[in-house]
Structure 1
Amino acid sequence: MKHLTATCTGTPEGYRIRVLDEDHDVCLVQLLFDWDSFRPASAGHRLIEHGYRIRPDARASDAVNGWREVPGQPRTWSVPVIPTNGDTSDTQTMVGERLVEAVSHWAEGRHDQAREVLADLARNGTPSLLYGAATGLALMAKEALAKMQGLNADTAFWIILTSDGSRPEDILPQPHLFAARFITAFANGDTATTLALYGAAFTAPDPELLSHCLEMLLAATGEAVRAATPGADR
């Protein structure tokens, strides 16, 4: 495993994030943001967007989302990271096939088998691969929902509505809210929001939150596919 380090440093213009190689001699990524203060969660999200993630063992009681202040360097924080952008096209094809398998299992009522396929992907996948899996599920959900409503999936605009008019965030558990928001954002072509939702679940204090969110995304997609299938029991 490569031992890479990310730093976030305050500058007169805002904050600069860099990813350094193992010897700290080469800057692999440099990003500038006009933040007025250090934003550890946002910094973690930006790393995910550019192919890196915070190492799980960096998260501890003396760190903020894994970030620690660098002694002797004012307004500078660092965190160990690992690359996430090594997924090949063959791997992506395999993931797509496994997602179709999982959704088919769910739509046909084999929920445990569907969960096991997803759990297998999670055990062996990188964060970027799992983000790709989430968007793959959202794509299937989008197409199923468009079919159910008789809409053009590429031109429709999607919103979240509740039966009693309540705000979704007031009544839905986090995994349910994640699935609804992720599918809606993906269907609307809002990549920034899908990345932010994934990043928030990935960096959450609860280490099980991401897996619960992905499982709920699978369930929502499977139910949408089942409902859109002619002759389905719905």
Structure 2
Amino acid sequence: MDHTAASNLIFDALAHAVAGNSEKAADALSDLGQNSDNSQMYGVCCAIAGAGEHVLRRIYGDQAPTDGTGMFVLEGLEPGAVVDPPELFALRFLTAYANNDPDTCMALFSAALQSDGDQYVDSVCALLAHVAGLCRLALKR
């Protein structure tokens, strides 16, 4: 799949997810997964996380929320309660991407890729869902 086609599908997946059309979002994401190699799917995750970072910066301005380190820190709705590996992947990947930490992004992606069963697919879907949720939050502001 060429870069333009992949970019269009990523945009479609995110737009459908933001609009609440999970079936069309899943179709676009499935098309990406079926026509992309592992390296390209890493790029897909980075593109989705890049959209998430953009939204975070729009919500919070140019200054990232700080925990004393000047870095983004994300938690689930119930702090400390996230135990689902795909949810953890999504939060950690988005945070690492927003904090410009490509080594952690690659390590998280590699771990998801090598996981059992559908965990890899679920992880990419969770990343899309989290970023779509941030987009919906930004649209309400």
The residue that corresponds to 2:122 in the other structure is 212
List gaps (5 residues or longer) in structure 1: 1-86
Is 1:176–2:87 an aligned residue pair? Answer: yes
The residue that corresponds to 1:15 in the other structure is none
For the Cα contact (< 8 Å) 1:92–1:129, is it kept in 2? no
Moved over 3 A (4+): 161-165
The residue that corresponds to 1:190 in the other structure is 101
Q: Name the count of aligned residue pairs.
A: 136
CA distance in 1, matches of 2:76, 2:32: 32
What does 1:110-129 align with in structure 2 at a 5 Å threshold? 110-129=21-40
Is 1:160–2:70 an aligned residue pair? Answer: no
List gaps (5 residues or longer) in structure 2: 65-69
Greater helix content: 2
TM-score (norm 1): 0.54
CA distance in 1, matches of 2:102, 2:21: 31
Is 1:134–2:48 an aligned residue pair? Answer: no
For the Cα contact (< 8 Å) 2:10–2:29, is it kept in 1? yes
TM-score (norm 2): 0.87
The residue that corresponds to 2:137 in the other structure is 227
SS at match of 1:109: coil
**Structure 1 position 93, deviation (Å):** 2.4
SS at match of 2:30: helix
**Structure 1 position 111, deviation (Å):** 1.1
Larger-gyration structure (1/2)? 1
For the Cα contact (< 8 Å) 2:52–2:94, is it kept in 1? yes
RMSD over aligned CA atoms reads: 1.9
Change (3 A) 1:209 1:139: same
Change (3 A) 1:123 1:190: same
Structure 1, 170-179 or 216-225: larger mean CA deviation: 170-179
Q: Which has the higher contact order (CA 8 A, sep 6+)?
A: 2
